Each structure stands twice: as structure tokens, then as C-alpha cells.
Amino acid sequence: MAQLTMVQAINLALAQEMERDPRVVVLGEDVGKNGGVFRVTQGLYEKFGDGRVADTPLSESAIVGVSIGMAAYGLRPVAEIQFEGFIYAAMEQLISHASRIRTRSRGRYHCPLVVRVPYGGGIRAPEHHSESNEALFAHTPGLKVVVPSTPYEAKGLLVSAIRDPDPVIFMEPKRVYRALKEEVPEEEYTIPLGQARIATEGKDNTLIAWGAMLQPTLKAAALMGERGIHSEVIDLRTLSPLDTRTIIESVKKTKRAVIVHEAPRTCGLGAELVARINESALLYLEAPVERVTGYDTVMPLPKLEQYYLPNAERVTEAIGRVMRF
Amino acid sequence: MPKKTIKTFHVEWLQVLDERGNCDEELRPPLSDKEIQKLYEWMVLARAFDEKAFKLQREGRLGTYASILGQEAAQVGSAFALQPGDWMFPSYREAGASIVRGLPLKMVFQYWSGDERGSRIPQGQNDFPITIPVGTQIPIATGAAWAAKAKGDKIAVMAYLGDGATSKGDFHEGLNFAGVFSLPVVFLCQNNHWAISVPVSRQTRAETLAQKAIAYGFDGIQVDGNDIFAVYKAAHEALGRARVGQGPTLIECVTYRIGDHTTADDATRYRTEEEVREWREKDPIDRLKRYMGKKGLWDEAYDHKVALESREQVEAAVAEEEAIPPPDPRDIFRYTFAELPEDLKEQMEHLFGSDGRPNP
């Protein structure tokens, strides 16, 4: 089995799905000859041609809008928005059309569309290239939001996203793109949407993370493990629809929870997770649920981003607080 | 070095039938007598529908409604040029076009009465539900055209829009895409002069909307939007070009919104009675009627019959619509995703009180 980066794993998933299903097309800025600014689509243009791997005008609203029309007509578009900071121009298409055409037409039309979007900080990128705006999409009924955390996860989740009959925002943690390699099977496999996974089992507290935050969270769990505190780490995988059951079962078992996300704190997904834990497991809790998050500020430029982004140290401190409470 | 002109452009204006019903027979599209009568009948039906919708709203039997009064030729003429396999993406002021495409009258009433089942376009009619956010249907229509081209389907797509939409980013993005990829799509712009209270002079400094196509590398034509022959001819030719791979066209139909923006608007606040009167004199139905009279295709008895049948059809549709039982509250949830996630199932249960009845 090959050791792949997340970039390679996503590329493999795209190539295999395009091979399998002629309806799958890739479109976006620089995704063709250039193979994408992160090289995620490298080689697809050569293999499948301009008809199925299309460099588009620099036009985010139309990349998504056109994809909606393609999806309604019967194709399976996989659109790339180059950076999460540029997706705002396409929000109207996502919110007013992609997410609701099934409802509006009472099922006559639906929108099997994947919007791939690299997100998040930690790679010393320019302004508007480091945000973590998943909550905007999770707050939009009718959109599914998927955030893979590792290469293996990315391949299995992307295949499921492409085959899903509804629009999926597939947020790729650019910090993880090349940061780690793991065994990724060449053979087809899928990871169902809407199901979280237990990345590490533990009995003392539950740590909930997704995407790029999984690694610092696992590191914090390992550090605390050396001190005899055993965390259960949940990799959420799909932010909408949420796998509430896995979270609640874990929190009922461990009685303590820490949520880690790099997005701003207020109205971040962590707030929703805390609410759900309170609704379903309040009387099991031995401590208030902690949140380790980005701040309610503008995402800083690279010289300050290490202060903004949660790291293992901040997570271990939060674990300490919930354990001491 | 002297400056030189490297490109010049022109914009064509098309009128076939003037305001007095005089027709340029050389320009007239090859429509049979029966088809001409059909165009007339569709316009009369569209107007009868529109009048009824307005009245129902005033009686509290219909929600807010956007009148098409005055735009019947632009809508009927363009939709009549579409073929059943074509796709159509309407804005929110498209009742006339939608009816010609086959949408049952009762469904148009149903939608405006606040029942989303009115947007479940019947199978076989490749139309999208109407679009409320202005201009956002344009890139979607372009995408459907792209898919048709990719699949090798010899069909065309028509996107309806108004003058206000030409100021939106999606107008630019959608038309630009269509030009770059030479897609089989026709952009049918009804310049009805008003975007709620804002006149077209506040949308653009360009003398025509049609000329905007030039910047995207394809043809734009301005037609008399109250002349159903001109509208049909321009649409028919543009759709024909689209179906054989000759790319997109922008058609600007110069027409006028005789009514208020919607039933919630009062246009006397921002425009003169005199302006409205001038446009009433250019009425699209009267114009075709005069032409048909000269050709022996219209007389009082025929007119009476068409008017009566239209009213009967509209009244029957109202009766049918008002007899439809209200939608199931579960419908709020049912179409969010293909499969209802656990959390939504739980929320759906909250619709019902402890007595098992819906909890409004």
C-alpha cells in the first residue's frame, strides 16, 4: 500500500471517480494545465482532457452557479474554489440555490455538487488565504460540510461526497496537505458522510476536533496520556449533518469534553457542540465543556498566526482545566 | 504614432410589427395563421391570469404577486420559440413564459399563494422554478447549457432576466462564462424600464443593454419587446444558432412594466401617469389584434370566444388550486436532503404536540 500525502490521496480519489463515472467533471481556476495551485488536480487534464477538467474564468460565483446548472442537468461537478477566503463571492449561489433547489422544487431537481475548498491557517499564506469558515456552511440548511483530517480520510470521504446526491462543501486543511503521509489503499473504499470516528479511545475526557486541528489535539492527548490522563479523541469528519450520537455517547462515558477549532469562537461550531452536549448529557458532566478556538478577531497575517491558531499546548491546558474542575 | 480604431461595433434594432399593426412582411417570421392565433391566445390567457392574480391578492386569497402586465409579447413570443427539450430558467416575473412552457395555471397560483408544491415543475418540462434573487439564475442556466454541450444534446437553454439584473455580478459572470465556452444559451432580457423604483438610467450609462453582449464576444440585439413577431424572430434565430453550436446571444426586449413592481408596491410614488399612458398605447395585444384584423385572423366573435375561454380556464384553475388541501408540515423537512439525517428527524417530531397534532 502506498504512503500518500493528502494532496495525493485527493488526486487519486478524483482520478478514480472520473474513471468510474463519466458524469464527474472538475472545474475551477487553474485546475487544468497547472494542476491546481496546490497540485491537487495534477495530471487530470492530461488524462481526461479539457472537456472534463476545465480551467474557468476567475469567477467564483459562476464557478458555483454553473456547477449547480451542470448538476441539475445530470453531471457530477467537482468545483474548486482556490482558497476559502474567496468563496464569499459564491455564497449567494450556495445559500440561495445549491442548498435549496431540492426543497424549492419539491424534489424535481437536486444538486449533486462538490465544492472543494482548501481552508485554514498555518502555512504562512497571504491575507485571505488562512481562514476557517466552516460554520457559515454548517449554518446553511441543505449543505453538507465535510472536513477530512488525514490522507486516508480524505480519499474515502471525497469519494462519498462525489457520489452523494446533495451539495457537499469539502474543506481541505491545507496545513495537512503535505504535512503527513499515511497508507492509502489504491482500491476503492468509502467513508460514509455524517459519521464521526473515534481516533483514539480514552476514558477520562472527550476531545472533539476536525480537519487541521486533529493533529494538535492528538498530540495533546498523547502528552496527557504520559501523565496518566486518557483522552478519547473524536474526529468529527462531517460537520453537517452532525453525528450527535457519537459525541453524546463519548461524553456520557468520559463526563468531560474539550472542543478544538481554529475558527473564531463566537457562533463557531463549538458553540453548537456545547449546546448539544448540554441538551443530551448535561447531568453526566463533571466540568463545563471547554472550547479551544481561534479568537473573535480578523485572522492575522503569518507573523502572528501562531498566536491565533490553537496548538497542543492550549489543548493540554484546557484538558487540565476540565480535569481539575 | 497616430491612434487608430481597431474595433467598431454596431447594435441592431428589430421591429416587425409597429404600434399601429403595420407589418414588415419580409421580416415577419414564417408562422402559420394558426400559430399567429395561438400567440394571440397565449397573450390573452397570460393577461387574464395576471388580472385574476392581482384581484386575488387584493381579496387576500393570494400572496404578493409580480404582475407581467405589458410584457406579454416578450414572454409569450420568446417562450413560444422554445422546443420541449430546451431548458428554461425564469426570473420571478415570468408567469406568461411559464404558462406557454406548459406549467399548469393552478401551479402558478399555488406558488404565489405560498405553497412550494407550485414549484414542482412537471416531469418533461425542463424549467427551473422561478428565481427571486435577481440575476442569480444566469450562471445556473449557463451551467445547464455547458452540461448539454458536454453531453452532446442538441438543445438550447433560455435564461430570463430583467434590466435590473444587468447590474449584478452574476450577469457578468454568467455571460462571460457563456461566451468563453461558446455555450448554447440565450439570455432574454426584458428591459421593462423599472427595477422597483429605479429606472434603467440608474442601472447603466450604456445606451442599450444589448450592447453588453459585445464585451463578452457574442451578439446582442435589441428588439421591440411589445412586438411579438420581433421577439419570436430574435428568440427563434438565437435558439437555432445555440442548438447548432454557434454559441450564446443576448436579446434585449424593450418593453414596459405597466403594473407596480409587485402587489406590495405603489409605482405612483416614483413615475408619472403620463409615462404609463404612453406605454399603454404600445400595448402588445392590441398591436397583434390590429394585424390579425387586417389579415382576417381576428373578428369580434373570435375575440369574444378567446376572452371567454381564457377567463374560464383561469377561473377553473383558481377553483382547482383553492381546493388543494394544505401541504403536510413534514414537507418543511422532507426535501432538505435525499435522506433525512437523524437530527432533522428529531426536529421534525417537534412539529407535533403531545396530542399528535401539528403545532403551529
Reported as a single tens digit per residue, the pLDDT across B111-126 is 999 999 999 999 999 9
State whether B296 and B339 are in the same domain.
Answer: no
Q: Is residue B352 very low, low, confident or very high in pLDDT (cuts 50, 70, 90)?
A: confident
Q: Are residues B316 and B343 in the same domain?
A: no
For residue A205, give the C-alpha cell.
475526557
Provide the pLDDT for residue B353. Answer: 80
The reply to whether B2 falls in a domain is: no
Q: Which residues of A6-23 are buried (b: 16+ CB within 10 A; e: fewer)?
A: bbbbbbbbbbbbbeeeeb
Asked if residue B286 is part of any domain, the answer here is yes
Candidates B99, B286, B74, B269; CA nearest to B191 is B74
B92 with B241, same domain: the answer is yes
Are A174 and A226 members of one domain?
no
CATH number at residue A291: 3.40.50.920
| Same domain for A147 and A205 | no
Alpha-carbon gap, residue B220 to B250, rounded angstroms: 5
Cα separation, B238 vs B235, in Å, equals: 5
Q: Is the pLDDT of residue A272 over 80?
A: yes
Contact A66 B150 (CB under 8 A): no
pLDDT band at B359 (very low <50, low <70, confident <90, very high): confident
Most A-contacting residue of B87, B134, B136, B173 (CB-CB within 10 A), to test interface:
B173
Distances (CA, A) of A274 to A258, A260, B209: 9, 11, 53
Q: Do B177 and A56 touch (CB under 8 A)?
A: yes
pLDDT at B360 over 90: no
Of B117, B151, B343, the CB nearest to A244: B343
Q: Which chain A residue shows the shortest CA-CA distance from B335?
A: A103
- The pLDDT value recorded for residue B195 is 96
Q: For chain B, which residues lie within 8 Å of any Cβ of chain A, measuring from their own Cβ?
A: 87, 116-117, 119-121, 123, 128-129, 131-133, 136, 138-148, 150-151, 169-170, 173-174, 176-177, 180-181, 331, 334-338, 341-344
How far is A29 from chain B, CA to nearest CA, in Å? 13
Amino acid A1: pLDDT: 80
Mean pLDDT in residue range A262-277: 98
Calpha distance B44→B38 (Å, rounded) = 10
Task: Identify the residue among B116, B117, B134, B335 best suited for mutation to test binding to A, counting A beta carbons within 10 A and taking the highest.
Answer: B335
Q: Residue B321: which of B41, B138, B107 has the closest Cα?
A: B107
Does residue B335 share a domain with residue B227? no
Contact B136 A92 (CB under 8 A): yes
- A139 and A174, same domain (yes or no): yes
My answer on whether A285 and A171 are in the same domain is: no
Q: Is A33 exposed, middle or buried (0-12, 13-18, 19+ CB in 10 A)?
A: exposed
pLDDT tens string B289-331:
999 999 999 999 999 999 999 999 999 999 999 999 999 999 9
The distance of A47 to chain B (nearest Cα, Å) reads: 17
For every residue of B34-93, DSSP letters joined together read HHHHHHHHHHHHHHHHHHHHHHHHHTTSS------TT-HHHHHHHHHT--TTSEEE--SS
Which three-class secondary structure state does DSSP give residue A83? coil
Which chain B residue shows the shortest CA-CA distance from A94?
B136
Q: Is residue A225 part of a domain?
A: yes
Assess contact for A154 and A172: CB atoms under 8 A.
yes
pLDDT digits (tens, 9 = 90+) for B124-159: 999 999 999 999 999 999 999 999 999 999 999 999
Partner residue facing A72 (CB), from B119, B144, B180: B144
Q: Is residue B6 part of a domain?
A: no
Domains: count for chain B: 2
pLDDT of residue A190 exceeding 80? yes
Range of the domain at B47: 12-327
Q: Under an 8 A CB cutoff, do A69 and B119 touch?
A: no
Which positions in chain A touch B343 (Cβ < 8 Å)?
A: 241-242, 244
Q: Are residues A228 and A315 in the same domain?
A: yes
Last residue of a domain, one of A132, A159, A184: A184
Answer whether A83's CB lies under 8 Å from A40's CB. no
User: In chain B, what residues touch A141 (CB-CB under 8 Å)?
Assistant: 336
| CB burial of residue B76 (10 Å; 0-12, 13-18, 19+) | buried
What 8-state DSSP symbol labels residue B211? T
Give the pLDDT mean for A243-262.
98
d(CA B107, CA B120): 8
Residues B321 and B332 grouped into a single domain: no
pLDDT of residue A45: 98
CA-based angle B217:B218:B219, to the nearest 5? 140
pLDDT digits (tens, 9 = 90+) for A79-133: 999 999 999 999 999 999 999 999 999 999 999 999 999 999 999 999 999 999 9
Both A92 and A60 in one domain: the answer is yes
Residues of chain A contacting B129 with CB distance shorter than 8 Å: 101, 104-105
In the DSSP assignment, the letter for residue A234 is E
Query: Tell me, what's the pLDDT at B135?
Result: 98
Q: What is the mean pLDDT of residues B214-233?
A: 98
Residues B302 and A152: their CA atoms lie apart, in Å, by: 72
Give chain A positions within 8 Å (CB) of B341: 194, 241
Quote the CA–CA distance of B352 and A162 in Å, as a whole number: 35
**Considering A152, A184, A216, which residue would you say is the last residue of a domain?**
A184
Q: Which residues of B touch A145 (CB under 8 A)?
A: none
Do the chains contact at A106 and B119, CB–CB below 8 Å? yes
Q: What is the pLDDT of residues A28-46, one digit of tens each?
A: 999 999 999 999 999 999 9
For residue A175, the surrounding DSSP H or E stretch is none
- The pLDDT score that the predictor gives to residue B355 is 80
In this structure, are A68 and A107 located in the same domain?
A: yes
The domain containing residue A177 runs over which residues?
A: 2-184
- Per the structure, the count of domains in chain A is 2
Instruction: For residue range A63-73, list pLDDT tens digits in order.
Output: 999 999 999 99
> CA-CA distance, B25 to B292, in Å (whole number)?
13
Residues ≥6 apart with Cβ < 8 Å to B50: B67, B68, B69, B95, B96, B259
Asked if B157 and B250 sit in the same domain, the reply is: yes
Helix, strand or coil, per DSSP, at residue A274 = helix
Identify whether residues B94 and B210 lie together within a single domain: yes
- The C-alpha cell 468509502 sits at A190
- Separation CA A107–CA A113 (nearest Å): 16
CATH of residue B229's domain is 3.40.50.970
List the grid coordinates of A195: 459519521
The average confidence (pLDDT) of chain B is: 96
* Alpha-carbon Rg for chain A in angstroms: 19
pLDDT at B354 > cutoff 80: no
Write out pLDDT tens, residues B260-281: 999 999 999 999 999 999 999 9
Chain B residues with CB-CB distance to A144 below 8 A: 337
A230 and A176 housed in the same domain: no
Residue A124 near residue A305 (C-beta atoms within 8 A): yes
- Whether A55 and A143 map to the same domain: the answer is yes
Confidence of residue A10 (pLDDT cuts 50, 70, 90): very high
Nearest to A319 by CA among A220, A188, A216, A210: A220
The residues of A annotated as belonging to the active site are: 129
Question: Can you tell me whether residue B157 is helix, strand or coil?
Answer: strand
Inter-chain contact B147–A102, Cβ cutoff 8 Å? no
Say how far residue B62 (Cα) sits from the centre of its chain: 20
Residues B248 and B99 in one domain: yes
pLDDT of residue B356: 78
Q: Are residues A27 and A153 located together in one domain of the fold?
A: yes
